[in-house]
């Protein structure tokens, strides 16, 4: 029964792979939803003061408007990836898109802060279903390494640029319209995806007759949620506070219990053997450190532009346009770099380019200049982000099959999200603890630089011990 199911699922995927025009059109709609998902990670940053004024909320309460989305999304992504493998990728993509679109509408119409935070949680849940489904579909529609690199380059570029576009849109919409429109622009575009995708993707076969690892799913969802909650609280309370060390201890216990459950489960959520693949393991570990640095950069640079250089929200948003241009230009060259250097050496190049930009930001003066102290660093980070993340995504999907593509995509997206959320909390907390604003910025960027260099070293050691791939 299971063998027959897998053959049918593989046949439908191969049918898409054999139709070049159709698969690139499918990629366009998968990427459109991913753009909206990525935009909503950062789109609230510049709008937070306006949201706080509308609901009478202080900075502490507003924290969850930012982190709620990434915490829930990151915590559920592995479960979402496994559900894609078991229940069907098209089915999960459409369900995730519908949840995300409905939650966006609820966020735009929210009448109080709890409703807005709940809507952000639901947006994260929608992402957890749709994003690994899209990523695994791409991996299977483009089985050749060179084509996969090109397709993931397009998808990754749109995803990455969405983070910067979110900051730009946040400033423009907040100043010219109303903060609610940062969410209300999503539903019409999601509706387009929901109408077009079923016309292009074949139906999933019947759901696999494989039991879902409910204990593993529960532990793997609660552990990262508790971890991020504890780290976020550490920015507002001492480490000895029960609301800090309690969630962190729970997270450690849940992770340990997850390993024990997976080792004994007949149908594990994430087979422990999955992490024995050295390339995937190193790629996912490096992604955590790179994502932490990138999330911190977006957040702190947005604050620096408004609080130190004293730009308006609109001008602060527009200041990210050179970043977007450099990112999109770099993306067009990633597939070529992977062909010339291989995935690991391309990832190292991207990490080192990001490190160069972080090193420049680590010297930010208290009275900095936009074009001297910020823009050059952001251009270097944009290039490094495009090259590094896309190469790491390719490496994290190396050797996937029709039965584990969703799991691999879920792991990659999860470490990306959670790495960004935890890194942002830790590094921004370090910046706040420094007292002086400019000194805090420099400390946070120096720590982010150290993390990216460690990631580059890890990838370099892995590449040195293996034959150079093409």
Q: Can you tell me the distance from the alpha carbon of 161 to that of 170, in angstroms, rounded to the nearest whole number?
A: 14
For 57, 115, 117, 242, 364, the CA distances from 52, given in Å and listed in that order, are 5, 14, 12, 27, 29
Produce one character per residue of 368-396: b if its CB has 16 or more CB atoms within 10 Å, e if not: bebeebbbebbbbbbbbbbbbbbbbbbbb
Q: State pTM to two decimals.
A: 0.75
If you compute the radius of gyration of the chain from its CA atoms, what whole number of angstroms results? 21
Which single residue is written with the structure tokens 């949620």? 225
**Gap between the Cα atoms of 303 and 309, Å rounded:** 9
Phi/psi of residue 368, each to 5°? -70, 165
Reduce the secondary structure of 356-417 to three states and give it as a string: HHHHHHCCCCCCCCHHHHHHHHHHHHHHHHHHHHHHHHHHHCCCCCCCCHHHHHHHHHHHHH
pLDDT computed for residue 7 by the predictor: 40
Cβ atoms 44, 51 nearer than 8 A = yes
| Region at 56 (left for phi over 0; alpha for psi -120 to 50; beta for the rest) | left
Angle between helices 343-361 and 321-341 (to 10 degrees): 150
Instruction: List the helix and strand counts (H, then E) for the chain.
Output: 18, 0
The answer to whether 137 and 14 have CB atoms below 8 angstroms apart is: no
In whole angstroms, what is the distance from residue 354 CA to residue 385 CA?
Answer: 6
Q: Phi and psi for 272 in degrees, rounded to 5?
A: -60, -25
Q: What are phi and psi of 434, to 5 degrees?
A: -70, -20
Q: How many angstroms separate the CA atoms of 1 and 22, rounded?
A: 30
CATH number of 2-212+269-464: 1.20.1250.20
- The answer to whether 351 and 388 have CB atoms below 8 angstroms apart is yes
Please list the alpha-helical segments (H only) found in 56-211: 59-87, 89-108, 113-141, 145-176, 181-184, 186-200
CA distance 84 to 208: 10
∠ CA(296), CA(32), CA(207), 5° rounding? Answer: 100
In angstroms, the Cα distances linking 389 to 153, 274, 404 are 9, 21, 21
User: Could you tell me which of 174, 147, 240 has the C-alpha nearest to residue 139?
Assistant: 147
**Tens digit of each residue's pLDDT, the chain (470 residues):** 343 333 444 445 445 555 555 777 888 878 878 788 878 777 777 777 778 888 887 655 676 787 778 777 777 777 787 787 777 888 888 999 999 999 999 999 999 999 999 999 899 889 888 888 887 788 777 777 777 777 777 776 677 667 667 777 777 887 888 889 989 988 998 998 888 888 877 776 655 555 667 787 778 778 877 877 787 677 667 878 888 889 999 999 998 998 888 888 777 777 777 777 788 889 989 999 998 898 888 878 877 887 788 888 788 878 888 988 888 788 778 878 888 888 888 999 999 999 999 999 999 888 888 899 999 999 999 999 889 988 898 888 777 666 666 677 777 877 887 788 778 777 877 777 666 777 888 898 999 999 999 999 999 988 776 655 44
Q: How far is CA 167 from the centre of its chain?
A: 15
The upper half-sphere exposure of residue 198, i.e. CA atoms within 13 Å in the direction of its Cβ, equals: 11
């Amino acid at each position: 029964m299971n063998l027959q199911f897998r053959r049918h699922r593989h046949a439908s995927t191969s049918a898409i792979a054999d139709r070049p025009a159709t698969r690139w059109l499918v990629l366009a709609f998968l990427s459109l939803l991913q753009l909206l998902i990525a935009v909503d990670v950062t789109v609230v940053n510049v709008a937070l003061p306006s949201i706080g004024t509308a609901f009478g909320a202080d900075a502490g309460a507003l924290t969850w408007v930012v982190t709620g989305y990434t915490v829930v999304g990151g915590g559920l992504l592995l479960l979402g990836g496994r559900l894609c493998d078991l229940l069907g990728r098209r089915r999960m993509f459409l369900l995730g898109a519908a949840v995300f679109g409905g939650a966006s509408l609820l966020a735009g119409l929210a009448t109080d802060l709890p409703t807005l935070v709940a809507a952000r949680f639901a947006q994260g849940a929608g992402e957890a279903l749709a994003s690994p489904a899209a990523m695994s579909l791409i991996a299977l529609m483009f089985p050749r390494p060179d084509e996969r690199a090109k397709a993931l380059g397009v998808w990754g570029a749109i995803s990455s640029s969405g983070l910067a576009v979110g900051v730009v849109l946040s400033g423009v919409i907040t100043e010219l319209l109303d903060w609610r429109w940062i969410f209300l622009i999503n539903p019409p575009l999601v509706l387009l995806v929901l109408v077009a995708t079923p016309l292009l993707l074949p139906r999933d076969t019947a759901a696999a007759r494989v039991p879902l690892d409910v204990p593993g799913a529960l532990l793997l969802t609660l552990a990262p949620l508790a971890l991020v909650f504890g780290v976020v609280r550490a920015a507002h309370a001492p480490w000895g506070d029960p609301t800090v060390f309690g969630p962190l201890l729970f997270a450690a216990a849940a992770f340990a219990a997850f390993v024990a459950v997976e080792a004994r489960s007949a149908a594990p959520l994430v087979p422990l053997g999955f992490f024995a693949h050295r390339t995937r393991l190193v790629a996912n570990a490096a992604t955590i450190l790179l994502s932490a640095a990138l999330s911190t950069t977006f957040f702190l640079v947005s604050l620096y532009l408004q609080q130190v250089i004293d730009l308006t929200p609109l001008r602060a948003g527009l200041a990210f346009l050179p970043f977007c241009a450099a990112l999109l230009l770099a993306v067009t060259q990633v597939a070529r770099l992977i062909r010339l250097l291989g995935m690991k050496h391309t990832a190292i190049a991207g990490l080192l380019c990001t490190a160069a930009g972080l090193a420049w930001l680590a010297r930010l003066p208290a009275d900095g200049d936009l074009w001297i102290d910020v823009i050059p660093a952001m251009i270097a980070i944009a290039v490094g982000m495009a090259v590094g993340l896309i190469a790491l995504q390719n490496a994290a999907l190396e050797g996937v099959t029709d039965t584990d593509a969703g799991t691999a995509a879920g792991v990659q997206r999860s470490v990306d999200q959670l790495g960004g959320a935890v890194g942002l909390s830790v590094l921004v907390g370090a910046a706040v603890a420094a007292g002086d604003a400019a000194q805090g910025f420099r400390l946070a960027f120096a720590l982010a630089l150290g993390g990216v260099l460690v990631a580059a070293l890890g990838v370099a050691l892995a590449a040195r011990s293996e034959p150079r791939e093409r």
